[in-house]
Amino acid sequence: MSTDNCLFCKILEGEIPAELIYESDTAVAFRDINPQAPIHALVIPRKHISTINDIDVDDEAIIGSLYSAARHIAAEEGIADEGYRAVMNCNEGAGQSVFHIHLHVLGGRRLDWPPG
Ligand code: 5GP
Ligand code: ZN
């Protein structure tokens, strides 16, 4: 999908509202519109990358920054010690529905493993 038609690029550009909870030079996070846990944030890179399969070797610092964002959010939301999950789905078979990569940060309840 192109950047023009991308929901999360539209959120980055302020065309679609979202509750932003974190911003850095490379990453932005906002609350998921359909939360699957008491805390459910989405961390996205400012750069449009469609799936994990499209991550370039030059993007490694950007990807690292998504985890720094997750750590910051977990601390801010008070779930760092009890535990949380930071997970990224790749392609439809794994449940990806928005094709701009995003790290789900889920916490505030017991999270079972393996996921469905
Ligand atoms: P995926 O299924 O691609 O791993 O995750 C996409 C996530 O984006 C879903 O959890 C879904 O609830 C969330 N989402 C879809 N549309 C919007 C939206 O317009 N705003 C926000 N904040 N989240 C959205
Ligand atoms: Zn995008």
Q: Which domains does the chain show, CATH number per domain?
A: 3-107 (3.30.428.10)
Give the separation between CA 94 and CA 116, rounded to whole angstroms: 10
E strand intervals along 6-91: 20-23, 27-31, 39-45, 84-87
Whose tokens are 């499209």? That residue is 54
Q: What is the mean pLDDT of residues 7-29?
A: 98
In sequence order, the β-bridge partners of residue 42 are 30, 104
Q: What is the pLDDT of residues 71-116, one digit of tens each?
A: 999 999 999 999 999 999 999 999 999 999 999 999 999 999 999 8
Indicate the pTM of the whole model.
0.97
Q: What is the pLDDT of residues 39-62, one digit of tens each?
A: 999 999 999 999 999 999 999 999
**Cα-to-centroid distance, 89 and ligand 2 (Å):** 15
Mutational pocket test of ligand 1: of 11, 21, 33, 49, the residue with most ligand atoms within 8 Å of the beta carbon: 33
Token code pair at residue 31: 């609350």
Give the pLDDT score at 3: 81
Give the separation between CA 113 and CA 33, rounded to whole angstroms: 23
Judged against a pLDDT cut of 80, whether residue 19 lies above it is answered with yes
Token code pair at residue 14: 């302020």
